[in-house]
Amino acid sequence: MSKCDNLHAIILASGEDRRLRPLTDVLDGVDLPKQFALIAGTGSLLQQTVTRYASLVPAKNMVVVVSSAFAGLARTQLRDWPGIEIIERPAECDAGLDLLLALGGVFSRSPDAHVLVTPADHYVPFPDDLVESVAAADQALDKAGVVLIGVADGQRRGRRAWIVPGRALGGGMFAVAGLVERASPVQSAELTASGALWNPSTVVARAEKLWYLAARHLPLQTEAVARHWAGRGSLAEALGKAGLDMPAADLSGALLRGAKDLATIAVRGSGWTDWISSEHVVDSIENPRELEQLLARVLRRQQAAGRTELHPPFPAIMRHATAA
């Protein structure tokens, strides 16, 4: 697939989700946020995210946002893509500012850019339809200001954010009739039955459109980031002048709330999941060879630690190992 020359990727990798700690502790002997862990597939989830979109987005158009604590590790993992820009989120700033921080940089350099915004900690073992959907969304931005990528199938454990499709727009896209945040398990089941799509916080949009939405709903945060990219002091200084401490800029909530021209496109057959537990990891891996390799790594590490049986936090791993 040819590259989309005007498409930039903003990859959000500063989260510190530790729900996989029992697994990462066993595999690597260190507590890592899941985007940096080597679990399944080739490379870490961060590396897989970059690889996934490399066919669409030149490395020079990719921006990865990381926390300062893991900036060194991110640079090591991304050394095969020397053109990628790595932005360190200041320690005094909330992770909710990551999108605005990266978007401000892209918009200041390329006001007419299109942007793909995506988290770096999701597992997508079969990404072909996803990549094609992102390319289609990029081409459709003359019809819709923001296109949300929705997941129509795959691992739904823990899903709480949903996209409700509305009228058909053609080309496999639909208008967004509504966004549901923090759905209960009962609501999630009802939404699934009605054809709603899981919202993995992945969007394609014009940078100008997202910046406009930010300025409308988060004016102080946007002004602080604009001052930073204009060279009028550090981000911390800009935040201080705006009277802000740790601002947040939630994509699905604050930025997209009230937007009138949202569209969505469904991804199918990708196996897309966000891995909410060690057991969920094992249950989600469909490739027998990858699962076998993961189980073998866990067993070797457990045996090296002097254990003859798998550690209790892994009932699913024990089930698979027994079945094997």
- Per-residue pLDDT reduced to its tens digit, 277-296: 788 888 888 888 888 888 88
| 24-67 pLDDT per residue, tens | 877 777 778 889 988 888 899 999 999 999 999 999 999 999 98
Average pLDDT of the chain is: 82
| 166-189 pLDDT per residue, tens | 999 988 899 999 888 888 888 888
Higher pLDDT, 318 or 183: 183
Token pair, residue 184, equals: 């209960």
Residue 80 has pLDDT above 90, yes or no: yes
Higher pLDDT, 311 or 279: 279
Please report the pLDDT score of residue 314 as a whole number: 54
> Closest Cα partner for 165 from 198, 129, 139, 206?
198
Give the C-alpha separation, 209 to 301, whole Å: 49
Please report the pLDDT score of residue 146 as a whole number: 92
Residue 321 has pLDDT above 60, yes or no: no
Q: Over range 190-217, report the average pLDDT.
A: 89
Give the C-alpha separation, 197 to 159, whole Å: 10
Phi, psi of 307, rounded to the nearest 5 degrees: -95, 140
> Closest Cα partner for 117 from 276, 9, 217?
9
> Closest Cα partner for 130 from 265, 323, 287?
265
Give the C-alpha separation, 127 to 55, whole Å: 12
Give me the residue label for tokens 């158009």.
Answer: 61
Token pair, residue 96, equals: 């909710």
Please report the pLDDT score of residue 292 as a whole number: 85
Give the C-alpha separation, 261 to 175, whole Å: 7
Helix, strand, coil share of the chain (percent; to 5):
40, 20, 40
Is residue 87 within 8 Å of residue 229, measured between CB atoms? no
Computed on alpha carbons and rounded to an integer, the radius of gyration of the chain in Å comes to: 20
Amino acid at site 56:
L
Give the C-alpha separation, 274 to 55, whole Å: 22
HSE-up of residue 51 (Cα within 13 Å, Cβ side) = 17
Higher pLDDT, 237 or 164: 164
Token pair, residue 81, equals: 């893509």
Give the C-alpha separation, 303 to 288, whole Å: 22
Task: Place 239 in a pLDDT band, splitting at 50, 70 and 90.
Answer: low
Direct distance between the N- and C-terminal alpha carbons of the chain, in angstroms, rounded to an integer: 39
Please report the pLDDT score of residue 113 as a whole number: 94
DSSP bridge pairs for 165: 176
Lowest mean pLDDT segment, chosen from 8-17, 27-36, 241-250, 256-265: 241-250
Q: Over range 106-132, report the average pLDDT.
A: 93
pTM of the model: 0.88
Amino acid at site 255:
L
Give the C-alpha separation, 210 to 261, whole Å: 12
Pairing of strands 173-180, 262-267: antiparallel
Please report the pLDDT score of residue 47 as a whole number: 97
Give the C-alpha separation, 72 to 63, whole Å: 15
- Does residue 240 sit in helix, strand or coil? helix
Task: Place 324 in a pLDDT band, splitting at 50, 70 and 90.
Answer: very low
Please report the pLDDT score of residue 305 as a whole number: 64
Q: Over range 157-169, report the average pLDDT.
A: 83
Higher pLDDT, 235 or 125: 125
Share of the chain above pLDDT 70, in %: 81
Please report the pLDDT score of residue 259 as a whole number: 76
